[in-house]
Amino acid sequence: DQQVKQNSPSLSVQEGRISILNCDYTNSMFDYFLWYKKYPAEGPTFLISISSIKDKNEDGRFTVFLNKSAKHLSLHIVPSQPGDSAVYFCAASKGGADGLTFGKGTHLIIQP
Protein backbone atom coordinates (compact mmCIF):
# COMPACT_ATOMS: atom_id res chain seq x y z
CA ASP A 1 0.00 0.00 0.00
CA GLN A 2 1.98 2.95 -1.35
CA GLN A 3 0.64 6.05 0.40
CA VAL A 4 3.18 8.36 -1.24
CA LYS A 5 3.83 7.82 -4.93
CA GLN A 6 6.46 9.18 -7.24
CA ASN A 7 5.48 7.76 -10.60
CA SER A 8 8.54 8.86 -12.55
CA PRO A 9 11.58 6.73 -11.64
CA SER A 10 13.81 9.07 -13.63
CA LEU A 11 13.76 12.49 -15.30
CA SER A 12 16.28 14.06 -17.65
CA VAL A 13 16.47 17.87 -17.96
CA GLN A 14 18.85 20.19 -19.74
CA GLU A 15 21.03 22.46 -17.66
CA GLY A 16 19.42 25.87 -17.19
CA ARG A 17 15.88 24.62 -17.78
CA ILE A 18 13.19 23.95 -15.19
CA SER A 19 12.97 20.56 -13.47
CA ILE A 20 9.55 19.51 -12.21
CA LEU A 21 9.27 16.51 -9.92
CA ASN A 22 5.86 15.18 -9.01
CA CYS A 23 4.42 13.38 -6.01
CA ASP A 24 0.94 12.06 -5.21
CA TYR A 25 -0.42 10.88 -1.88
CA THR A 26 -3.49 8.96 -0.81
CA ASN A 27 -3.74 9.51 2.96
CA SER A 28 -5.81 12.58 3.92
CA MET A 29 -4.20 12.55 7.36
CA PHE A 30 -0.90 13.83 5.97
CA ASP A 31 -0.52 17.48 6.90
CA TYR A 32 3.12 18.23 6.18
CA PHE A 33 5.25 17.40 3.17
CA LEU A 34 8.99 17.40 2.64
CA TRP A 35 11.44 16.95 -0.21
CA TYR A 36 14.82 15.33 0.27
CA LYS A 37 17.75 15.04 -2.09
CA LYS A 38 20.03 12.02 -1.98
CA TYR A 39 23.40 11.30 -3.54
CA PRO A 40 24.69 7.71 -3.79
CA ALA A 41 26.18 6.34 -0.56
CA GLU A 42 24.98 9.37 1.43
CA GLY A 43 22.00 10.09 3.64
CA PRO A 44 19.04 12.15 2.39
CA THR A 45 19.46 15.91 2.71
CA PHE A 46 16.45 18.04 3.61
CA LEU A 47 15.57 20.51 0.83
CA ILE A 48 12.24 22.18 1.40
CA SER A 49 8.90 21.53 3.08
CA ILE A 50 5.32 22.74 3.03
CA SER A 51 2.44 22.67 5.48
CA SER A 52 -0.98 21.58 4.28
CA ILE A 53 -2.36 25.02 5.10
CA LYS A 54 -0.23 26.54 2.35
CA ASP A 55 -0.17 25.99 -1.40
CA LYS A 56 3.33 27.24 -2.16
CA ASN A 57 6.69 27.56 -0.48
CA GLU A 58 9.79 28.99 -2.09
CA ASP A 59 13.45 28.84 -1.14
CA GLY A 60 15.93 30.12 -3.67
CA ARG A 61 15.84 27.94 -6.79
CA PHE A 62 13.41 25.51 -5.16
CA THR A 63 9.64 25.90 -5.00
CA VAL A 64 7.15 23.36 -3.75
CA PHE A 65 3.50 23.53 -4.78
CA LEU A 66 0.71 21.70 -2.98
CA ASN A 67 -2.71 20.94 -4.46
CA LYS A 68 -4.58 19.50 -1.52
CA SER A 69 -7.78 18.70 -3.40
CA ALA A 70 -5.83 16.64 -5.92
CA LYS A 71 -3.51 15.22 -3.25
CA HIS A 72 -0.60 16.25 -5.40
CA LEU A 73 2.59 18.17 -4.83
CA SER A 74 5.45 19.14 -7.07
CA LEU A 75 8.99 20.42 -6.66
CA HIS A 76 10.25 22.97 -9.17
CA ILE A 77 13.96 23.63 -9.59
CA VAL A 78 14.90 26.60 -11.73
CA PRO A 79 17.37 26.98 -13.23
CA SER A 80 18.59 23.39 -13.08
CA GLN A 81 22.30 22.93 -12.40
CA PRO A 82 24.61 19.90 -12.81
CA GLY A 83 24.88 19.53 -9.02
CA ASP A 84 21.13 18.95 -8.89
CA SER A 85 21.61 15.49 -10.39
CA ALA A 86 20.51 13.17 -7.58
CA VAL A 87 17.57 11.10 -6.38
CA TYR A 88 14.73 13.19 -4.98
CA PHE A 89 12.36 11.78 -2.39
CA CYS A 90 8.97 13.12 -1.48
CA ALA A 91 7.96 12.46 2.15
CA ALA A 92 4.83 13.08 4.20
CA SER A 93 4.02 13.40 7.87
CA LYS A 94 0.75 12.95 9.77
CA GLY A 95 1.83 15.57 12.23
CA GLY A 96 3.95 16.14 15.25
CA ALA A 97 7.08 14.06 15.42
CA ASP A 98 5.80 10.98 13.60
CA GLY A 99 7.92 8.91 11.29
CA LEU A 100 7.89 10.04 7.68
CA THR A 101 6.32 8.12 4.79
CA PHE A 102 8.53 8.24 1.70
CA GLY A 103 7.96 7.77 -1.99
CA LYS A 104 10.32 5.58 -4.01
CA GLY A 105 12.20 8.54 -5.43
CA THR A 106 12.86 10.14 -8.80
CA HIS A 107 16.35 10.10 -10.26
CA LEU A 108 16.95 13.56 -11.76
CA ILE A 109 19.66 13.81 -14.39
CA ILE A 110 20.79 17.26 -15.48
CA GLN A 111 22.35 17.18 -18.93
CA PRO A 112 24.91 19.79 -20.02
Partner 1 sequence: NAGVMQNPRHLVRRRGQEARLRCSPMKGHSHVYWYRQLPEEGLKFMVYLQKENIIDESGMPKERFSAEFPKEGPSILRIQQVVRGDSAAYFCASSRGVSSYEQYFGPGTRLTVT
Residues that bind partner 1 in the complex, under the rule CB under 8 A: 4, 6, 32, 34, 36, 41-46, 49, 89, 91, 93, 96-105
From the CB of 6, what's the least distance to partner 1, in Å?
A: 8
Judged by beta carbon, residue 27 or residue 46, the one nearer partner 1 is 46
- Alpha carbon of residue 60 to chain centroid: 15
Which residues are registered as beta bridge partners of 91?
34, 102
CB–CB of 36/23 below 8 Å?
no
From the CB of 90, what's the least distance to partner 1, in Å?
A: 9
Judged by beta carbon, residue 32 or residue 79, the one nearer partner 1 is 32
d(CA 21, CA 6): 8
Strands 10-14 and 106-111: parallel
From the CB of 111, what's the least distance to partner 1, in Å?
A: 23
